[in-house]
Amino acid sequence: MASVGFDAFYDFVEDPVRSAEAARRRPPLALGITAYALAAAGLYAAQGLAGRNVLLGVSLPALAFVCSWSLGMGALFAAAVHLAAEAAGGRAPALALFSLFGFSRLAWGLALPAMLLLKALAPDAGWAAGAVFAAAGLWVLVLETRSVRLIYGFGHARALAVVLAPYAALATGILLVFAATAWGLVYQFMRLKAA
């Protein structure tokens, strides 16, 4: 039975169309959750090698928190993308998207061997560590876009727009909060000056 689960991952890499169809019929939820945890652990280890675990440090409780955070944010992101995809006219189960997004996040694990090579070849190249993480993040975006395209039957541009929609909504919300804060400060300054 375990090989059935790993077949879902192999299909994601080798035959993405078959993987998407299988996920639509029966989402590999347990394997998707495992993929989120493994991706978070790989990214955590790569960030530790790069010296970027400043906030939490390097410890088992921090690793558990990062894995839990990745799983929670993955569920939230998959839900937001699912809502955007349904608004764009797509129909598919959200659990299938969640599972395939977990497989997509495994690309973060590629940052670990890249960081090991980087530390061996150029231990002081701080800019290269950022490039490694940017490349891994871009690969995750490509795989997530492919997952949306195959599950919902969208074209490339529409799938990319659906994946980027939650990020755009978050950025817009942050800009609105900053604009409201700036307006509040200007308004208070004008009231003080008038008084």
d(CA 61, CA 48): 14
pLDDT for the residue numbered 127 = 83
Beta-carbon contacts of residue 108 (< 8 Å; ≥ 6 apart): 39, 40, 42, 43, 46, 136, 137, 140
The pLDDT of 183-194, averaged and rounded, is 89
Least Cα distance to 93 among 15, 156, 32 occurs for 32
Q: Give the count of domains, the chain.
A: 1
Which range has the worst mean pLDDT, 7-11, 58-62, 151-155? 7-11
Q: Which domain holds residue 170?
A: 2-194
For the beta carbon of residue 13, count every other beta carbon within 10 angstroms. 11
Least Cα distance to 37 among 12, 68, 2, 9 occurs for 68
pLDDT in tens, 65-122: 999 999 999 999 999 999 999 999 999 999 999 999 999 999 998 888 998 898 888 8
